[in-house]
């Protein structure tokens, strides 16, 4: 997604929220703040007075979410939904201040973050927006579980998932995200998990803040949430949402097509590492393209 002006954007004003970390269970206060041109997205742990850049090189191995850590070993977890909101609304520069180890889960989607950003408002900045143009195909994983980027004249995403549970089964979707499409087709899709996995996750120190308020929970072939699903194919839409947030760790919008097959955060990280390891596979380009061309 590219703003038609081709210029960078940040928030007009700070905005505050609080919530529970999905995996840590910690009560977190968070403030989204404006930032100067070329700052990018940065996380500031106010409890430890240290900063972590939203950069794929800072991503560390972390089950079930995307976690960033700096050279001091300070981390911030579950950044993918907020990063997806920044990507979807074309926010180039912001400082995310928080007093704990994880982004609040809110309702398990990016929708509350979209609401916060829109309440704060956006402002154009006197600096051009750049994109990262994919020049040749890059694939990681296996034929049955893979993530790929291929050259394309705009940013687009396709995803396929396949589960034995009849609540999900096989779902496939392709979208070319722009702010309007992101808001209506992706941002409200919630994270999901299976009831029989919850106890194992909690024993492993995960999902301590998880509940039916911030995740879709599946038991066998049933969705346990009383309100049901927000989209018939909410599961694949959430996987696309995660990928959008993970890919924004590239440091600029990508110009190319992403395809995921039963992939997740680990493969998304590996894909960016593989892309940037091959200097002939990408180059910076101008953002002077029609709106909705890049995410």
Distance set, CA 50 to CA 44, 71, 74, 104 (Å): 6, 10, 8, 18
Angle of the 111-120 helix axis to the 80-88 helix axis, nearest 10: 50
- Please count the CA atoms within 13 angstroms of the CA of 155 that sit on its side-chain side: 30
pLDDT score recorded for residue 288:
61
Q: What is the pLDDT of residues 229-240, one digit of tens each?
A: 999 999 999 999
Distance set, CA 254 to CA 219, 236, 271, 284, 295 (Å): 37, 21, 12, 9, 6
Q: What is the pLDDT of residues 191-247, one digit of tens each?
A: 999 988 877 777 777 767 888 899 999 999 999 999 999 999 999 999 999 999 999
pLDDT score recorded for residue 218:
94
Q: Compute mean pLDDT per 10 residues along the chain, 295 residues long, and list them.
A: 69 97 91 98 98 98 92 97 98 98 96 98 96 98 96 96 95 95 97 85 74 91 96 98 98 97 96 98 78 37
Q: Which residues contact 214 (CB under 8 A, 6 or more apart)?
A: 20, 22, 105, 106, 107, 108, 190, 191
Q: What angle do CA 178, 179, 181 make, to 5 degrees?
A: 65
pLDDT score recorded for residue 5:
59
CA 70 vs. chain centroid, Å, equals 19
- Please count the CA atoms within 13 angstroms of the CA of 131 that sit on its side-chain side: 29
Q: What angle do CA 222, 78, 205 make, to 5 degrees?
A: 70
- Please count the CA atoms within 13 angstroms of the CA of 74 that sit on its side-chain side: 15
What the block records as the tokens of 2 is: 């590219």
Write out the catalytic residue numbers: 265
Local structure of residue 233 (DSSP, 8 states):
T
CB 147 within 8 A of CB 176: no
CA 122 vs. chain centroid, Å, equals 19
pLDDT score recorded for residue 64:
85
Distance set, CA 48 to CA 41, 74, 98 (Å): 18, 8, 10
pTM: 0.93
CB 58 within 8 A of CB 76: no
pLDDT score recorded for residue 294:
36
Largest CA distance in the chain: 53
Coil vs helix vs strand at 36: coil
pLDDT score recorded for residue 198:
75
Query: How crowded is residue 202: how many other Cβ atoms within 10 Å of its Cβ?
Result: 14
CB 265 within 8 A of CB 242: yes
Mean pLDDT of the chain: 93
Query: How crowded is residue 171: how many other Cβ atoms within 10 Å of its Cβ?
Result: 18
CB 65 within 8 A of CB 40: no
């Amino acid at each position: 997604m590219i703003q038609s002006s081709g210029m960078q954007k940040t928030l007009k004003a700070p905005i505050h929220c609080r919530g529970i970390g999905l995996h840590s269970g910690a009560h977190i206060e968070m403030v989204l703040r404006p930032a100067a041109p070329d700052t990018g997205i940065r996380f500031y742990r106010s409890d430890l007075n240290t900063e972590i850049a939203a950069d794929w090189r800072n991503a560390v191995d972390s089950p079930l979410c995307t976690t960033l850590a700096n050279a001091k070993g300070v981390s911030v977890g579950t950044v993918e939904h907020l990063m997806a909101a920044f990507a979807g609304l074309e926010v180039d520069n912001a400082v995310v201040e928080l007093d704990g180890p994880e982004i609040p889960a809110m309702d398990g989607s990016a929708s509350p973050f979209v609401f916060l950003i829109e309440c704060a408002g956006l402002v154009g900045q006197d600096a051009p927006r750049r994109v990262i143009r994919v020049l040749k195909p890059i694939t990681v994983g296996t034929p049955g579980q893979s993530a790929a980027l291929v050259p394309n004249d705009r940013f687009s995403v396709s995803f396929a998932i396949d589960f034995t549970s009849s609540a999900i089964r096989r779902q496939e979707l392709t979208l070319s995200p722009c702010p309007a499409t992101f808001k209506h087709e992706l941002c409200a899709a919630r994270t999901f998990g299976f009831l029989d996995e919850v106890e194992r996750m909690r024993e492993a120190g995960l999902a301590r803040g998880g509940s039916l308020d911030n995740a879709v929970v599946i038991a066998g072939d049933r969705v346990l949430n009383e309100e049901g699903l927000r989209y018939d194919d909410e599961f694949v839409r959430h996987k696309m949402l995660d990928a959008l947030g993970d890919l924004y760790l590239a440091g600029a919008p990508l110009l190319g097509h992403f395809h995921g097959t039963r992939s997740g955060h680990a493969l998304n990280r590996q894909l960016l590492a593989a892309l940037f390891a091959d200097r002939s596979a990408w180059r910076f380009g101008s953002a002077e393209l029609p709106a909705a061309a890049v995410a």
